[in-house]
Structure 1
Amino acid sequence: LFDTIVLPVLLYGSEVWGYEDSEQLEIFFRTFLKNTMKLNKQTPNCMVYGESGRKPLYIKIRLSMIIFWIKIVTGDEHKLVFHFYKLLRKMHDDNYYTSPWIGKMEEIFNTCDMQNVWLNPLNFN
């Protein structure tokens, strides 16, 4: 029930706002899990995730950001979102301006050791 009703509301638009700190959402999610499983508030978070078979929400958020990024870079070149992405990316690469979203995407790819995908987005198909 949580996955079908609450989670979509919590993560709505996360592909766009996902660069923001999601700690408040994580706290809410862990509190829900602890209450559902009747665990003590002091139970370590790793135990809560392990026993529930769940992952932290930031993983879903980053996945939605990556899927959104793929749709942008492989999408129709005539769409406005494609042109805005290209403009933001050029400004980022030229160190003129870094959009928080673009910066987070680069961080995600670098963390996953996928710099080649970030540097050559059209060559990963």
Structure 2
Amino acid sequence: MDRYKYLGLWFDEHADMKLAVQELSKSASRALGLLISKFYRAGGMTYSVFTKLYESLVQPVLLYCSAIWGQAERREINNVQNRAIKVFLGATKNTSNAGVIGDMGWLSTLSKQRIEVFRFYCRLKSANPDKLLRKIHNWSMRRRDSWDARVVKLGKKYSIENLLESAVRPTYHTVNAIKLKVQQKDESDWFGQIWNDRGIVYGNKLRTYRKFKKDRKPEHYAKQYMPRSKT
């Protein structure tokens, strides 16, 4: 057998997490399908209710064990969240992802994944030195391509090396500071997307949108409840 399931996560013989991500996205898509059916049956939901249900029913499945596989961007994971946003906003499949993300104001899945990665690293860093988990962490830090070493390298992109290295229990203060840094970079990257005109003959198709969109907060129309029959 070249693959097996352990604690709800699929592994293959090469320890490649691609299979695990694919299966998680399928499970999350089914959970999202149930949410969407309830959304249509109810004639729509408010922004806060839909967001709460997504974060309670779909996101935990979608980001399950993302502390392990969440360092890199995963297209399958992005697609699930983008679908949820487009359904809520009534946008078509071909609508720009950057545009609907900007109007919805949700954090990107990549940033959510990396927050979980950093959170788990802080737990390892602040663990009791006598515990086996901490000893493995210390040993792994000396390996150039280990998970731990790659997290430290990733932390440099967010300028949070000091936060990662100074993590002590309780870690929620450190994690909150890291969250803020990740959110700031996420918004900066989003602005980079909508203002990127390189290699595009007639410019970014969001060239009109970006003239009016000055932040990535939820738009008023998204938070203003209106029955779907009137949209």
The normalised TM-score by structure 2 is: 0.46
Which residues of structure 1 form unaligned runs of 5+? 93-97
Cα distance in 1 for partners of 2:149, 2:167 equals 20
Deviation beyond 6 Å, 4+ runs, structure 1: none
Taking only the aligned residue pairs, the percentage that are identical comes to 22
1:51-78 Cα distance to aligned partner (Å, 9 max, x none): 1121211111111111111111111111
1:9 is the counterpart of 2:55? no
Q: In the TM superposition, what is the alpha-carbon distance from 1:106 to its structure 2 partner? A: 2.4
Q: Does 1:68 align with 2:114?
A: no
CA distance in 1, matches of 2:160, 2:116: 17
| Counterpart residue identity of residue 68, structure 2 | V
Structure 2's unaligned 5+ residue stretches are 1-52, 169-231
1:104-119 aligned within 5 A: 104-117=150-163
| SS of alignment partner, residue 90 of structure 1 | coil
Partner Cα separation in structure 2 for residue 76 and residue 124 of structure 1: 12
Match in the other structure for 1:95: none
Q: Supply the distance in 1 between the matched residues of 2:117 and 2:78 (Cα, whole angstroms).
A: 17
Aligned alpha-carbon RMSD (Å): 1.9
Does the aligned pair in 1 maintain the 2:67–2:114 contact within 8 Å? yes
Q: What is the aligned residue count?
A: 116
Paired residue secondary structure (2:127): coil
Q: Which amino acid aligns with 2:114?
A: R
CA–CA distance in 2 between the matches of 1:27 and 1:103?
29
The question of 1:57 aligning with 2:105 is answered no
Please list, as runs of the form range in 1=range in 2, the aligned pairs for 1:27-42 lying within 5 A after superposition.
Answer: 27-42=79-94
The structure having more radius of gyration, on CA atoms, is 2
CA shift in 2, pair 1:77/1:103, >3 Å: closer
**CA apart distance, 1:117:** 4.8
- In the TM superposition, residue 124 of structure 1 has moved relative to its aligned partner by 5.7
Measure the CA separation in 2 of the matches of 1:40 and 1:108.
Answer: 34
Identify the range of structure 1 (1-10 vs 18-27) with the bigger mean alpha-carbon deviation: 18-27
Give the whole-Å Cα distance in 2 for the aligned partners of 1:117 and 1:29.
29
